Each structure stands twice: as C-alpha cells, then as structure tokens.
Amino acid sequence: MVNRFADLFARKPSGVLNLYITAGYPSLHDTVPLLKTLAESGADVLEIGVPFSDPLADGPVIQQTSSAALRNGMTLKLLLQELQGIRQVLPDTPLLLMGYLNPVLQYGMEAFCQQTAAAGIDGVILPDLPAEEYAALYQETFRRHNLRPVFLITPQTAEARIRRLDELTDDAFLYLVSGPGLTGGNQTADHSSQDAYLARVEALNLRNPRLVGFGIADKTSFERACQHAHGAIIGSALLRALDGAADPHEAARQFVRSIRQ
C-alpha cells in the first residue's frame, strides 16, 4: 500500500517542512488552491486543520482562523468533499488532517476514516484522542483504511510513553511539541532546554522520523529545530502571513521562500 510519509523521508531525511493551514480560511473555498500553491512553493508535508469551536491545543492565531472558517461555512463534511480529487493535483505530497475528536465522533469514526482515506489523506492528528483509546478502539479501523495516526510528544513525556507512541505510529512521524504552551507561542526562547529535550528524544533511536512543532515561525527557528529532528511544522506564522493579504497565494509563496532561502 502507498505510504507517502515513508517515500518522503526516504528521499529527504532532513529539512522536511510541514505547513499547516486552516480549512476554509481565508475564504471558504481557498483550501485546495492554497495546498497546491504551498506544495509548488516547497512544502514537503501539508497539514489541514479542521476548524473547531474549542481547539484545546491551539493558540490565538489558529483559534481565530478556526472561528473565521466556521463563519465562512467550513465543516468536516464540506472539507472531505472539497478534497476529493486532490491526488490529481498533488499526487505525492503527504497530507494530514489535524482536528479534534468530538467532530470526528459526531461524524462517525468508520465514515470519517473511509471518506478521509478516499479523499487521499495519509494521516490524522487528533490531540485529544488518548493513545490507549486509539489502540483499543480505532487502530484496526485506521489500518484498514491505510490512515496513519500522528501522536504528540512533549518535554514531559516519559521514555516508555515515547516508545509506546512510536510503536503505534505505523510509519508516519512523531510530532515533537517544542515546549509548554499552545501553538504559535514563543516556544524557542529557552534554546538550551529545547535542544536538550530534542537531543534526548533523538538519542532514543526511534523507528519513526520526528518533526518539531509549536513556536516554529521563521528560518532561524526552523533550522534550529531541524538540528535534532527530521524537520519542523509551521502553522500560526503562515496564517499570520495570510491574514488580510490582498493575494493569499503570493503571501504563501513569499512565506515559504523566507523559510527556504
């Protein structure tokens, strides 16, 4: 079965750039065109945020874009409809949905997995889905539809727990939260503490690649995160660049250039 994550990390073992956008933002039907622009500009992985009224792990920027997307009329059902056929546009780029458990359960886990996979999505991040619950209730459903879960690791996560999450990840990547707080915060202020944490996880020689997220905002923080990981994830900084832009696509291109220069 196709595993775009494995293919990506085999050909690019370092400097992987994962970019996050909120579905339905800035405008309702911007999602697929923006994904195409970002991939063409140099993004390696694309993460699509499903807007939710109570995004527990997200900071003010993603909260605001989620609220705007919901006002625009974006829903999980509409997003999955809009993503149909995206593999004709982006055949090789790994695609993720990032959301929260409540809307997925309302949709129905089986229907969600089936339609998400049919839309061409490779993996799912559900920060409020406990790993134990995933393993007991949903792992077989995910595997049946060739969907890969992505779990979050923090500086407080114990080694045994990290190894268990690595075991459950099914050849995607581990999401290393750079420090305490929410997305978009200044997680990189304490460089020595962050470097020690990332080096500690690197030394575990885990099976899956590692991407660093939360507080990665520019070329400097991206490159610093990549010193002890395979790449990094940027969301809030990109969304800030899109906010109010006369041409969101040009803003997206300029943002990716600022990271890749």
Q: What is the pLDDT of residue 180?
A: 59
Catalytic site includes residue 47: yes
Place of tokens 């020689």: 205
Size of the chain, expressed as the number of residues it contains = 261
Which of 30, 44, 47, 122 is flagged as catalytic? 47
CATH 3.40.50.720, domain 16-151+216-260, yes or no: no
Per-residue pLDDT 10s for the chain (261 aa) are: 899 999 999 999 999 999 999 999 999 999 999 999 999 999 999 999 999 987 676 778 999 999 999 999 999 999 999 999 999 999 999 999 999 999 999 999 999 999 999 999 999 999 999 999 999 999 999 999 999 999 999 999 999 999 999 999 999 999 999 875 555 555 445 788 999 999 999 999 999 999 999 999 999 999 999 999 999 999 999 999 999 999 999 999 999 999 998
Who's near 161: CB < 8 A, 6+ residues apart?
none
| Edge-to-edge order in the sheet of strand 152-153 | 148-149, 123-125, 95-98, 45-49, 16-22, 231-234, 210-213, 174-177, 152-153
Which of 44, 58, 82, 170 is flagged as catalytic? 58
Distance CA 52, CA 41 (A): 28
Four-residue CA torsion sign, 162, 163, 164, 170: positive
Q: What is the pLDDT of residue 87?
A: 97
Cis peptide before 155 (omega within 30 of 0): no
CB 198 within 8 A of CB 175: no
Instruction: Centre a 10 Å sphere on the Cβ of residue 192 and count the other Cβ atoms it contains.
Output: 7
Mapping DSSP to helix (H, G, I), strand (E, B) and coil, where does residue 118 land?
helix
Show the tokens assigned to 101.
């458990």
Q: What is the pLDDT of residue 188?
A: 44
Q: Where are the domains of the chain?
A: 16-151+216-260
Distance CA 6, CA 12 (A): 10
